[in-house]
Copies of this chain bind each other. A is one copy, B any other.
Amino acid sequence: MPKPRLQKADTHARIVDIAAKRFRERGIHEISLADLMSEAGLTVGGFYKHFSSRDELVVEAFVASCQDAVSWSRGVSSYQQAVTEYLAENHRDHPETGCAVAALVGDVKSESHSVRAAYTREVRRNLEFFSSLAPADGALAKRQAGMFIFSACIGALELSRSIDDPKLSRDILRAVRKLLVDETPARRSLKRQKRRRASA
């Protein structure tokens, strides 16, 4: 039963949004176009009136995923909040609305040039975000701290998602959260100062 005049652009966006969720949730190749179209209430046949290829959808869906990260970062005002929320069990359990860089970190290796380019842009945006919040002095130190923090976050989140032991999964998130928040150079020197002031 065709339903014309119901805004083609809306349908297009709906397909992209669904793909953006499912790709992060299950991986780019673990879901078929038929499944995605069906979730949108459509059939496979119509797909190529919206996209010239599967790859085109992958790129659009990835870019759409990044919007979730942009919205999230707007609500984050401190380094501690960023790390705590990124490494929360809630984020681990909901890859479909979470960080696309983490969710697709293994997948993109075998993707097209366009996908990898979009991915690299998003990595760079994330590094800038974490650098801007990083407790470090000077542009270079901030940049390096951003790379360090983002790497630790991605590694911990993906490890916690991949193992099948819930306790170990939680322990990894907690340990990395703790060491990132407590044991960062600037924070440590802050603590030292407090200790000194207290003992004086």
Contacts and interface: CB of A to CB of B under 8 A. Distances in A.
A165 B108 CA distance: 13
Interface of A is mostly: helix
A27 B159 contact: no
Contacts of A147: 156, 171-172, 175-176
A175 B151 CA distance: 10
A71 interface: no
A179 B146 CA distance: 11
Interface in A96-146: 101, 103-110, 113, 116-117, 119-120, 123-124, 143-145
Contacts of A120: 163-165, 168
Given A27-B110, A123-B159, A151 B152 contact: yes
A183 B143 CA distance: 15
12 contacts: A26-B110, A27-B110, A104-B106, A104-B162, A109-B161, A116-B164, A144-B175, A147-B172, A147-B176, A148-B179, A152-B155, A154-B159
A29 interface: yes
For A103, A151, A153, A185, the residue with the greatest tally of chain B CB atoms inside 10 Å of its CB is: A151
A178 interface: yes
A179 B105 contact: no
Contact of A159 (B150, B164, B176): B150
Contacts of A155: 150-156, 158
For A104, A152, A180, the residue with the greatest tally of chain B CB atoms inside 10 Å of its CB is: A152
A66 B153 CA distance: 24
